[in-house]
Chains A and B, each alone.
Chain A
Amino acid sequence: MEEENQAYQVKLREFEGRIASGEKIEPGDWMPDEYRQQLIRMISQHAHSEIVGMLPEGAWITRAPNLRRKMVLLAKVQDEGGHGQYLYHAAETLGATREEMIDALLSGKAKYASVFNYPTLNWADMGVIGWLVDGAAIKNQTMLAQCSYGPYSRAMVRICAEEGFHMKQGKEMVMRYAQGTDEQRIMTQDALDRWWWPTLMMFGLPDDVSTNSPALKRWGIKTRSNDTLRQEFINELIPELYLLGFNVPDDDLTFDEESGNWVSGDIDWDEFWRVIRGDGPCNKERMETRQKAHDDGLWVREALSAYAERMQKRAEA
């Protein structure tokens, strides 16, 4: 036992040394079980978020108000599917199977970003989601692109490159509506009022209560704190939103001259927990939709498996 423990410690030090020197850990490399499990959890949750995230925006493709917006929204939602795909792949390299991951999502065992449990109520939500939600995601993903696990890092680099267009197309919309008709401005302010706080919650719990961070930081997975990223985001968005003539639904927002930070009011973490635990406005609906797509697709998946099996037998005969 003592020998085993020593051998483990040697391997662990070597592993941490590789990470510290900037080497990527690849599938097949030795890794502590906790590293593997944490990554599977993080990556699959991230993948689920992308897939579920297709639904609130996908619902508006049929109502996009001009040809360009229709094509752009279709491409954006398609990208989100693609991102989920890259992430499922990264988790698969760690030994998780897609069947298991989907099962975990549909049974409620696995979580996904709670921001996607809010409804999209008008067209301007598309612009606001692009600028705010994807903007917040980019911050997180840019950090994860440095992560020590090769497949996750590479998936993140690819996703970051594609996400740029998501944020920009949203920002373009918000800017246009800011300078558009009265109805467009009102519609956009309404969307901002509803998406501002859920977006801030995307950065996760405040640093002083978040439990996951220490191991993730040591192993090069999460290298910047929730609060730091959140503050950066707020500092970037507020001046530009004000410039465009919009308000932010935060009566307690103040500017601190000394730090140069826009200091946000209190985030309602009770709401955050309610939504994560399944009690958000759209949790049930999102899961029912995913379950239905999965169930409706069963005969299709079976049919194509049967065809492949038959062709395989024929080839071997």
Chain B
Amino acid sequence: MTDTQWPRFEVFLQDRPETSHRNIGSVHAPDIEMAMMNARDVFVRRPSCISLWVVPVDAIYAKTVQEIEADPELFRDRLGDESSVDKYDIFRKSSQRRAMTFVIYTGQVEATSPELALQKAIEIFGDGTTYVWWVCPERIILRSQESDIPSMFAPAKDKEYRQPRDYKVVSAMQEVKREQPGKGGR
């Protein structure tokens, strides 16, 4: 058997009820349940999370605006099976200003293929400032539940020792300076 580092799963995190899920990275895991737990352990060591979504990387259909513009045939003949209409979750990157932002959850469309889902998404959600689109079938995403919050996300709040503010080195150094004026020079 070949040794692998296990498949990858993209991770989406929602930090507050008012914000949307955003992609923050990926985890390696043998399966999606372990991926959910790995995502929690890798990305929620510090507070500000109320929900996590994980999805196998292969399930994501990703296109940058560059790629879309470079391929005029992209949406042609992608009808797929009429009977297999799926709900697709749509994520997009629509800002260059916020350094921490990549793709954020925008909404859902129904379509018979990822390409057509993207096409629909551009029509419905596109506003000229989208740089990257991610499209993914809703049913493949594993989502944490509200009942998971106390055991999965709340514990990070108690670990103050992981925060810089728990170490009062600035005030301590000022104290040392006061006690020893003139030292620390040439």
Taking Cβ atoms with an 8 Å cutoff, the residues of B that contact A are: 1, 3-6, 8, 24-28, 30-31, 34, 42, 45-46, 62-64, 66-67, 93, 96, 99-100, 102, 131-132, 159, 161-164, 166-169, 172-173, 176-177, 180, 183-186
Contacts and interface: CB of A to CB of B under 8 A. Distances in A.
Given A75-B162, A239-B185, A242-B183, A172 B172 contact: yes
Interface in A165-186: 165, 168-169, 171-172, 175, 179
Given A26-B132, A99-B3, A99-B5, A242 B169 contact: no
Nearest to A78: B45
B68 to A, nearest CB: 10
Interface of A: 22-24, 26-30, 68, 71-72, 75, 78-79, 82, 85-86, 89, 92, 97-99, 102, 145, 150-151, 153-155, 157-158, 162, 164-165, 168-169, 171-172, 175, 179, 239-240, 242-244, 255, 298, 301-302, 304-308, 311
A92 B64 CA distance: 17
A30 B66 contact: yes
A81 B169 CA distance: 25
Contacts of A79: 45, 162
Contacts of A157: 99-100
A242 B184 contact: yes
A28 B102 contact: no
Given A82-B42, A172-B172, A307-B31, A98 B5 contact: yes
A275 B24 CA distance: 35
Contacts of B159: 75
Contacts of A86: 25
A26 B1 contact: no
A298 B4 CA distance: 9
Contacts of B163: 165
A82 B183 CA distance: 39
25 contacts: A22-B96, A26-B131, A28-B62, A28-B63, A28-B132, A30-B66, A71-B161, A75-B162, A82-B42, A98-B28, A99-B5, A102-B5, A162-B46, A165-B167, A172-B169, A175-B169, A240-B173, A240-B184, A243-B177, A301-B4, A302-B1, A305-B4, A305-B6, A305-B30, A308-B30
Given A92-B8, A301-B4, A306-B1, 5 more contacts: A28-B64, A29-B67, A162-B162, A165-B163, A175-B169
Given A75-B162, A172-B167, A145 B99 contact: yes
Nearest to A301: B3
A240 B131 CA distance: 46
Contacts, number: 125
B114 to A, nearest CB: 14
Contacts of A171: 167, 169
Interface of A is mostly: helix
Nearest to B186: A255
Question: Which 10 pairs show the lowest CB-CB distances between chains A and B?
Answer: A243-B184, A168-B167, A304-B30, A164-B164, A28-B64, A308-B31, A98-B5, A308-B30, A239-B184, A171-B169
A145 to B, nearest CB: 7
A305 B67 CA distance: 34
Contact of B176 (A72, A102, A244): A244
A235 to B, nearest CB: 12
Given A92-B8, A243-B177, A304-B6, A68 B161 contact: yes
Contacts of A85: 25, 27, 42
Contacts of B96: 22-24
Contacts of B167: 165, 168-169, 171-172
A99 to B, nearest CB: 6
Contacts of B186: 255
